[in-house]
Amino acid sequence: MRALICGAGIAGLTLAWHLERMGWHVEIVERAPAFRNGGYMIDFYGAGYEVAEHMGLARRLQEVRYPFTELDYVNRGGRRTSGFVLPPSFRQVVSLLRGDLARILAEEVRAPIRYASTVEAVHQNGEGVTVTLTGGVQTTVDLLVGADGAHSRVRELAFGSEERYVRYLDHHVAACILTDPELSAQVGQRYQMLTVPGLMAGAYALRQDRLALLFLRREADPTLPSDPRETLRRHYGDLGWILPTLLSRIPADLYYDQVTQVQMESWSRGRVVLLGDACQAVSLFAGHGASMAMAAAWILADELAGTDLATALSSYERRMRPTIAEVQALGRRFIEWMAPSSQLRIAIRDLMFRLTALPGADRLFLNSLTPGGHNLIESRVDQLPRS
Ligand SMILES: Cc1cc2nc3c(=O)[nH]c(=O)nc-3n(C[C@H](O)[C@H](O)[C@H](O)COP(=O)(O)OP(=O)(O)OC[C@H]3O[C@@H](n4cnc5c(N)ncnc54)[C@H](O)[C@@H]3O)c2cc1C
């Protein structure tokens, strides 16, 4: 069997790994001109970590992880106003750069990645799906997988325009990595965040004198700015803390996007199937996207191993959907915690965090954020293959 995977990200690479080992012939196309390094910090745990363990990657993940045990909220003068020390059970969460996770996956995938390329046209019939790639190259495969993120090109070609499926969560997000020994030492390896109503800026020190930066801004208009760096300077420039220095140094490869979830009635159409953020984006507010992408890839591979294509694609969707709906709801509830919209909400958050210093209150607080008292870091996908 032959598959073309569009998107060499977390979902696409995980699926490639599994399909190759099942004897499939796999091709991968990736829009970026070269491998996408760095990016932003992610917390990785639960189902995704279970999949990584199954793939034999746990040791590599432990090597590249960052120790994240503490979150501090600071004011404009850089003084701590509240914060949170993670309870020991939450320290199994692996904090790492998205790029490091993708690289560890890519190192284990044999299929060549065709960079600076995407899917330009799709034509399918009962026999196969013929895909035209950038530059006019054509290939015919049994299955086309759209693992090309929340703004998926494959989804647009096979299912229609993104307005039908993408739910905008009223925020813009930006992230980048900066090298600055002084600031990196000042911030240290604890997440420092500054919030004012509608704006959040966060920093975390990385190895090699670097810093991972994250900016979240409440914005009713989903239209992306033509100059994201100028937009950041305009909104965050007078907030104090370390921001004036940071903002003068924002690199050109800044990640900037809308914060979105993806919700669709169906994840496949004939021989085209969507995977990861392309069909199930939960948003950074939910903090499970990479984990869910890997779980979905494993489940899709598991189904493709067993039965005919149509049954496999519908079973994959049936097994993943309930968890995705639950995690998406969790993400929407989390918005006001991560990016409070008013001074009152910031004050309530600070109070809650101060209360978590009381014995046992930290765990109670974290569990209260999840439906049915589920532990945030449990697998959440009880349908993972057990073989
Ligand atoms: C700031 C931020 C913080 C986050 N924090 C967390 C977290 O703490 N924990 C967590 O689990 N998740 C987190 N996420 C979410 C997580 O990164 C995603 O859910 C996850 O990467 C989804 O995997 P994916 O493979 O579907 O998409 P991606 O990893 O984004 O990969 C998609 C790939 O497709 C490529 N591509 C895009 N368009 C095309 C095209 N037209 N043709 C070919 N290739 C294309 C892209 O270049 C990319 O390589 C966060 C996301 C953001 C933005």
User: What's the mean per-residue pLDDT of the chain?
Assistant: 91
Question: How many domains does the chain fold into?
Answer: 1
Alpha carbon nearest to ligand 1 atom 27, residue: 149
Cβ neighbours around 25 below 10 Å, total: 13
pTM across the whole model: 0.94
Residue to probe by mutation, ligand 1, list 42, 86, 96, most atoms within 8 Å of CB? 42
Residue 220 located in a structural domain:
no
Confidence of residue 196 (pLDDT cuts 50, 70, 90): very high
| 45 CA closest ligand 1 atom index | 11
Long-range contacts of residues 226-229, Cβ cutoff 8 Å, at least 24 apart: 228/174, 228/254, 228/256, 229/254
| 95 CA closest ligand 1 atom index | 8
| Measured distance CA(71)–CA(84) in Å, rounded | 5
Alpha carbon nearest to ligand 1 atom 38, residue: 148
pLDDT tens digits along 35-47: 988 789 999 998 9
| Measured distance CA(257)–CA(261) in Å, rounded | 12
Return the structure tokens found at 266: 């169906």
Report the pLDDT averaged over residues 269-285.
97
Residue 95 located in a structural domain:
yes
Residue 279 located in a structural domain:
yes
Residues with CB under 6 A from ligand 1: 6-12, 29-32, 36, 40, 42-44, 98, 118, 147-149, 153, 173, 175, 214, 276-277, 284, 287-291, 293
| 102 CA closest ligand 1 atom index | 29
Residue 26 located in a structural domain:
yes
CA of 278 to the centre of ligand 1 (A): 9
Express as a percent the part of the chain with pLDDT over 90: 76
Helix axis angle for 361-368 and 343-355, nearest 10°, is: 140
Residue to probe by mutation, ligand 1, list 10, 156, 216, 330, most atoms within 8 Å of CB? 10
pLDDT tens digits along 140-185: 999 999 999 999 999 999 999 999 999 999 999 999 999 999 999 9
Alpha carbon nearest to ligand 1 atom 50, residue: 284
Residue 235 located in a structural domain:
no
The CATH number covering residue 136 comes to 3.50.50.60
Residue 231 located in a structural domain:
no
Lowest model confidence (mean pLDDT) among 21-30, 87-96, 163-172, 285-294:
87-96
Residue 244 located in a structural domain:
no
Residue 85, classed as helix, strand or coil, is strand
CA of 374 to the centre of ligand 1 (A): 25
Residue 322 located in a structural domain:
yes
- Residue 96 or 126, more confident: 96
Cβ partners under 8 Å of residue 109, min gap 6: 13, 16, 17, 20, 26, 28
| 153 CA closest ligand 1 atom index | 41
Q: Which residue has the tokens 């697998």?
A: 379
Q: State yes or no: pLDDT of 386 exceeds 70.
A: no
Cβ partners under 8 Å of residue 233, min gap 6: 247, 250
* Residue 271 domain boundaries: 2-166+260-373
Cβ pair 216, 107 in contact under 8 A: no
CA of 27 to the centre of ligand 1 (A): 19
CA of 10 to the centre of ligand 1 (A): 7
Instruction: Give 145: exposed, middle or buried? Use CB within 10 Å, 0-12, 13-18, 19+.
Output: buried
- pLDDT for the residue numbered 371: 47
| 32 CA closest ligand 1 atom index | 47
| 36 CA closest ligand 1 atom index | 49
